[in-house]
Chain A
Amino acid sequence: MYGNAFIDPNDPRNKQEVEESQELLDAFQAKIDNGQKIEPSDWMPKMYRKQLTRMIEQHANSELIGALPEGTWITRAPNFKRKMALIAKVQDEVGHAQLLYNAAETLGKSREAMLNDLMIGKAKYSNVFNYPAETWGDIAVIGFLVDGAAIVNQLINSKGSYGPYCRALKRICAEEAFHLKQGHDNLVALAVGTPEQRQMLQDAVNRWWQPLMHFFGPPDKQSVHSEQLMRWKVKLASNDDMRNQFLDQYVPKILELGLSIPDPNLRKNSETKRWEMSDPDWDEFYRVIKGDGPCNKERLAVRRWVKEHHQWVTDALLRPERVRTVPLA
């Protein structure tokens, strides 16, 4: 699972720094236009390397941090089927992080550097994981809707131009099929259950709706999405297009269970075929990105604890003669 890699075009770090020869840039672009994939040892523009590194790194971080809200209920899952499915699902998130850190490493940044940047709060991950999983109902909503949103995003990204990222995403998308099914199964069990179960589920839908609308990033009119990233097939769809696709796929599945969506203005415009909705609170989105969400502090504290607590295991098997090698991924 993963969230949107939000690349802020106004961040000065995202401006192209170096003039690169037009010839190389043209050849690179031609390769991408041809549908060829870029491999780690290929020449690539600095900006391409930088944006992709940030994007794959954020994706990997999101998988790893995403294991925490769902992990909240691992020891409390209510029966054998749910208990084993939840462990398997959270395990997959860690597995996805592993694949994605490998893919990001091929671009030059080491796994340690990425894990360090994550725990000190320098690196980003999807905002959605800064919200708490308050009840078992949240596990159903995360499993179905947050994963559903992530799959929309990941399927689109798997058509991108960077070979190792595509390979990782191909496997990840295949595994997400199970996540989505078990999430839906869990959601339906609560929706058709007792009044208390339904209420627990409805409350969870209400809590997660705004984070879900934030998930794909700010509306296109606010975010000057980079034409360049589109041409390079780093970014393949606009935020609004992805959000629209998500609503198309998932709103009917929520409504068919008699659940409500906490936005009275949500409706599909039959002429434009686009969803219309109340504007989510974008100030909150930016506030949470900056570190002020309900769980940001805990998430990072847990990652620091993991590092400190297990350091002896790593240390015991370090050998100074080893030279770092970049994985092939």
Chain B
Amino acid sequence: MHRDEAIKELLFKMADDALILGHRNSEWTGIGPTLEEDIAFSSMAQDKIGHAFQLYTILHEHFGEANPDILGFKRSEKEFKCCHLVELPTVDYAFSLVRHFLFDYADGLRYEELQNASFEPLAQLAKKIKGEIKYHTMHANVWIKLLAQGNEESKARIQSAINEAMPYALGIFEPSEYEKTLQEEKIFSGENALQTKWVETIQTLIEKAGLEMPDITILKPQLGGRKAYHTEHLKPLLDEMTEVVRMDENASW
């Protein structure tokens, strides 16, 4: 039973992250920086929302939770377990790219490990979407590298977005109360281990791009999301997202 609770918690936070980030990224659809990049970013938004759908489907089919449309569109803010990074408003493209870079490298490492999880449906999903995630990290890395080496302004914008996003990115790895169970059950080696791998990976890439990795030992991670304490931005996001579906709770769309 403990195992089930642990897996559910993991699935919910991953699904909520993916839904909210996909939603945020779709805010650029049709108004992105170049036509080609608009298309690429929209695809990744769809991928993320698709990942959320598949994770909610596992919750529905294996743990008796409601169906994905209810989990995605009819839960209250207090039931969401996403991290604060994905909730932040879409201000400018530098921030969106950096958020995508920081989040997707963590996501990539997480799914890589989950390919070997002892919970088969999650391992299957991790294998199925590994190609999509490979594209997400490649896309992020190419853009960060190019803009870091573009001109002074673009370099400064990317650097300041990294500085701004980093405490929130650390919130991705907010430990859960089930860390030990997940390890014992050979599902996931835990948020701390993931964070260590992630820091190594992105530090190398950030420095290779000629940017500076913030000293994370002195940063205060923005925690709380995994315990359903959210930024002021999540509630309005959910209100907007559910505006149509709330018109009639019993209608089918």
Question: A interface vs B, CB < 8 Å?
Answer: 64, 67-68, 70-71, 73-80, 82-84, 87-88, 90-91, 93-95, 97-98, 101, 136, 189-190, 193-194, 196-197, 302, 305-306, 309-310, 312-317
> Which of B99-107, B145-153, B213-221 lies at the binding interface?
B145-153
Assess whether B251 is in contact with A196, with CB atoms less than 8 Å apart.
yes
Assess whether B247 is in contact with A196, with CB atoms less than 8 Å apart.
yes
Assess whether B93 is in contact with A71, with CB atoms less than 8 Å apart.
no
Assess whether B251 is in contact with A91, with CB atoms less than 8 Å apart.
no
Q: How large is the interface on B (under 10, 10 to 19, 20 to 34, 35 or more residues)?
A: 35 or more
Question: B interface vs A, CB < 8 Å?
Answer: 23, 26-27, 29-36, 38-39, 42-43, 45-46, 49-50, 52-53, 68-69, 72-73, 92-93, 146-147, 150-151, 153-154, 157, 240-245, 247-248, 250-253
Give complex CA distance A293, B251 in Å.
34
B153 in complex: contacting residue of A64, A75, A315, CB < 8 Å = A315
User: At the interface, is chain B mostly helix, strand, loop or mixed?
Assistant: helix
A313 in complex: contacting residue of B45, B49, B93, B248, CB < 8 Å = B93
Assess whether B69 is in contact with A84, with CB atoms less than 8 Å apart.
no
Assess whether A136 is in contact with B244, with CB atoms less than 8 Å apart.
yes
15 contacts between A and B (CB under 8 A): A67-B31, A71-B30, A71-B31, A74-B26, A74-B29, A76-B242, A77-B244, A80-B49, A80-B69, A88-B42, A93-B30, A98-B35, A189-B253, A194-B251, A317-B150
- In the assembled complex, which residues on chain A have CB atoms less than 8 Å from the CB atom of B157? 312
Assess whether A78 is in contact with B244, with CB atoms less than 8 Å apart.
yes
Q: A71-B29, A197-B248 are in contact. Are A76 and B241 (CB under 8 A)?
A: yes
Give complex CA distance A98, B43 in Å.
15
B23 in complex: contacting residue of A64, A75, A78, A197, CB < 8 Å = A75
Give complex CA distance A221, B241 in Å.
47
Assess whether A88 is in contact with B147, with CB atoms less than 8 Å apart.
no
Q: A78-B253, A87-B49 are in contact. Are A314 and B245 (CB under 8 A)?
A: no
- In the assembled complex, which residues on chain B have CB atoms less than 8 Å from the CB atom of A77? 244
Assess whether B147 is in contact with A316, with CB atoms less than 8 Å apart.
yes
Assess whether B248 is in contact with A196, with CB atoms less than 8 Å apart.
yes
- In the assembled complex, which residues on chain A have CB atoms less than 8 Å from the CB atom of B72? 79-80
A312 in complex: contacting residue of B29, B153, B245, B252, CB < 8 Å = B153
- In the assembled complex, which residues on chain B have CB atoms less than 8 Å from the CB atom of A316? 146-147, 150-151, 153-154
Q: Quick one: which of B52, B69, B250 has the most chain A CB within 10 A?
A: B69
What is the CB-to-nearest-CB distance from B176 to chain A, in angstroms, rounded to a whole number? 25
Which A residue sits closest to B24, measured CB to CB?
A75
- In the assembled complex, which residues on chain A have CB atoms less than 8 Å from the CB atom of B26? 74-75, 83, 87
B39 in complex: contacting residue of A82, A83, A95, A306, CB < 8 Å = A95
Give complex CA distance A73, B50 in Å.
18
- In the assembled complex, which residues on chain B have CB atoms less than 8 Å from the CB atom of A95? 35, 39
- In the assembled complex, which residues on chain A have CB atoms less than 8 Å from the CB atom of B68? 80
Give complex CA distance A192, B241 in Å.
23
- In the assembled complex, which residues on chain B have CB atoms less than 8 Å from the CB atom of A302? 31
Assess whether B27 is in contact with A75, with CB atoms less than 8 Å apart.
yes
- In the assembled complex, which residues on chain B have CB atoms less than 8 Å from the CB atom of A90? 29-30, 42
Give complex CA distance A302, B243 in Å.
23
Q: A194-B251, A196-B247 are in contact. Are A80 and B53 (CB under 8 A)?
A: yes
Assess whether A98 is in contact with B244, with CB atoms less than 8 Å apart.
no
- In the assembled complex, which residues on chain A have CB atoms less than 8 Å from the CB atom of B33? 306, 310, 313-314
